[in-house]
């Protein structure tokens, strides 16, 4: 077992970012709801605890509290935002509403020598309405800001620390160093969570789960399902049969490309199912995005059940579910956070499905999945493909999904990606001070018609939205600052080459408040 950190989630949408930052330090961690039974958390044998932020106030009825076993463990504790307030409240300090709420960038200054914070001024990200009025006994103030005189606290003897700001977000530039100091220096956790160790542990779990039984794998050609399939194949060999379903919801020419890539890269037995008509019929008249995801998730499972009957009824189904899918679908065993959307392979699964899922990537972030894929020997072009949603173009074709509208969307999307490729911007790159290129870029067909003029003729046609983002973790993202000349060229090509489209707009919304996908 690798050394580990236990993270208690008090309902923060940022909680998964804490986990990702700890994993970046090559230290294993798990995220638990704050009220998880102690035996489950302590079974991790953690080297320390991190308490996340959250929307509650410690002085309101029924607010989340720090379980007794945390402070009885004699292990280091780091409270972030609400976690700091809960730590203060529990140990006898005072928390009160702030006269001035603080959301966004701030400057804090380290005011006492300590093992957690770098010296001097720190740029940080605040997001709180309450603040610490007085420290518990044994604590000293470690940092202050103009609006938060007590912006960080610590009890150096017991190794308890609290931060009013969020070190896990990129808006706190030295946040990674702060977390490293807590995890590695204070908790003394070994940095042994590597792609090789992930693979070794996953192979062991897969073999224990499935034994000698046959396994089906749902593959789409995307990064996640390909890596998951490769992982299971390495564990069970010829027990695995990969199934690729052509839903009619893939990008231009993608169905053929995926089949070739999977056969060449994985070498597994591959069954191809043409289910275009089934999916089009199931989606007929459906416009609500959540219903689309449920319809697609159920149709996927029903088709796999049909394939299973033809292949001797295997009980196990491999899926490329990754951690962001779980977080956004708010799986009840992992998070108390509000559901953002149901992912077709998490919240969209039918309750009566006949499979037991094998999900070797379920608690991995995208960057970890890519590292594992490379370590498994998958081709670079497959591992570094841009993400594509499991429901495919159904969630980029807003409104009703029809073959004609999908054809428009495919062509517009192909124009966007080809122009980004020609400009060298189809993949994200890290410059000296910033990210450039795109981590994910795609077109969205809107169920909106507008008046235009083409060849002196009035048109009344649909609009296409372009979405391109930069991100390192896909949990937060910023819109890509593409050159205006490139956007003009893409828009010109779309309105001239895509029948039925006369307007192109560019989405300049970050995540949050928006999600990367529109539906």
List, by residue number, the catalytic residues. Answer: 81, 166, 168
User: What 3-state DSSP class applies to 305?
Assistant: helix
In this structure, how many other beta carbons lie within 10 angstroms of the beta carbon of residue 489? 15
Give dist(CA 102, CA 411) in Å, integer: 45
Give dist(CA 327, CA 325) in Å, integer: 6
User: What 3-state DSSP class applies to 98?
Assistant: strand
* Residue indicated by tokens 């062991």: 204
Give dist(CA 517, CA 387) in Å, integer: 11
CA 87 to chain centre: 28
Residue among 341, 310, 75, 81 at smallest CA distance from 214: 310
Residue among 468, 466, 231 at smallest CA distance from 361: 231
> Strand 4-9 and strand 440-454: pairing?
unpaired
102: which strand partners? 128
Angle of helix 195-210 relative to helix 223-236, nearest 10 degrees, comes to: 60
User: What 3-state DSSP class applies to 414?
Assistant: helix
> Strand 152-155 and strand 160-163: pairing?
antiparallel
Contact between residue 473 and residue 365 where contact means Cβ atoms under 8 Å apart = yes
Half-sphere exposure of 112 (CA within 13 A, CB side): 14
Q: Can you give the C-alpha Rg of the chain in angstroms?
A: 25
Half-sphere exposure of 120 (CA within 13 A, CB side): 2
In this structure, how many other beta carbons lie within 10 angstroms of the beta carbon of residue 248? 20
Give dist(CA 341, CA 490) in Å, integer: 30
- Give the torsion sign (CA, 275, 277, 279, 281): negative
Half-sphere exposure of 88 (CA within 13 A, CB side): 29
């Amino acid at each position: 077992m690798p050394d580990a950190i236990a993270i208690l989630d008090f309902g923060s949408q940022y909680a998964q970012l804490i986990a990702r930052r700890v994993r970046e330090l090559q230290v294993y961690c798990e995220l638990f709801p704050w009220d998880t039974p102690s035996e489950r958390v302590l079974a991790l044998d953690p080297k320390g605890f991190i308490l996340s932020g959250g929307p509650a106030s410690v002085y309101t009825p029924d607010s989340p509290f720090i379980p007794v076993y945390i402070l009885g463990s004699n292990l280091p504790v780091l409270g972030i935002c609400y976690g700091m307030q809960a730590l203060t409240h529990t140990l006898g300090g005072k928390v009160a509403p702030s006269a001035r709420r603080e959301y966004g960038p701030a400057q804090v200054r380290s005011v006492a020598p300590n093992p957690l914070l770098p010296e001097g001024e720190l740029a940080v990200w605040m997001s709180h309405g309450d603040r610490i009025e007085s420290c518990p006994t044994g604590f000293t103030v470690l940092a202050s800001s103009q609006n938060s005189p007590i912006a960080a606290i610590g009890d150096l003897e017991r190794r308890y620390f609290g931060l009013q700001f969020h070190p896990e977000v990129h808006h706190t530039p030295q946040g990674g160093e702060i977390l490293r100091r807590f995890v590695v220096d204070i908790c003394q956790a070994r940095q042994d969570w590597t792609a090789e160790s992930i693979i070794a542990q996953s192979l062991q779990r897969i073999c224990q789960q499935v034994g000698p039984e046959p396994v089906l794998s749902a593959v789409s050609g995307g990064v996640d399902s390909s890596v998951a399939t490769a992982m299971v194949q390495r564990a069970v060999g010829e027990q695995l049969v990969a199934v690729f379903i052509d839903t009619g919801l893939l990008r231009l020419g993608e169905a053929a490309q995926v089949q070739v890539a999977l056969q060449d890269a994985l070498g597994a037995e591959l069954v191809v199912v043409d289910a275009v008509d089934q999916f089009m019929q199931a989606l007929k008249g459906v416009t609500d995005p959540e219903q689309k995801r449920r319809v697609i998730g159920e149709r996927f499972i029903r088709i796999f059940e049909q394939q299973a009957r033809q292949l001797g009824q295997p009980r196990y189904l491999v899926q490329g579910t990754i951690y962001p899918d779980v977080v956004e679908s708010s799986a009840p065993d992992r998070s108390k956070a509000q559901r953002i959307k149901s992912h077709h392979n998490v919240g969209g699964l039918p309750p009566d499905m006949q499979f037991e899922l094998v999900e070797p990537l379920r608690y991995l972030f995208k960057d970890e999945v890519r590292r594992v894929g490379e370590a498994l020997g998958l081709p670079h072009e497959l591992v570094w493909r841009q993400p594509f949603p499991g429901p495919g173009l159904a969630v980029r074709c807003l409104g009703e999904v029809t073959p004609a509208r999908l054809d428009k969307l495919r062509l517009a999307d192909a124009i966007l990606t080809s122009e980004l490729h020609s400009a060298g911007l189809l993949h994200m790159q890290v410059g000296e001070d910033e990210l450039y290129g795109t981590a994910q870029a795609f077109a969205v067909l809107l169920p909106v018609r507008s008046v235009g003029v083409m060849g002196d003729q009035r048109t009344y046609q649909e609009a296409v939205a372009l979405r391109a983002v930069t991100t390192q973790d896909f949990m937060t993202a910023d819109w890509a600052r593409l050159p205006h000349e490139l956007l003009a060229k893409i828009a010109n090509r779309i309105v001239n080459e895509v029948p039925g489209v006369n307007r192109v707009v560019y989405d300049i919304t970050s995540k949050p408040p928006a999600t990367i996908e529109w539906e």
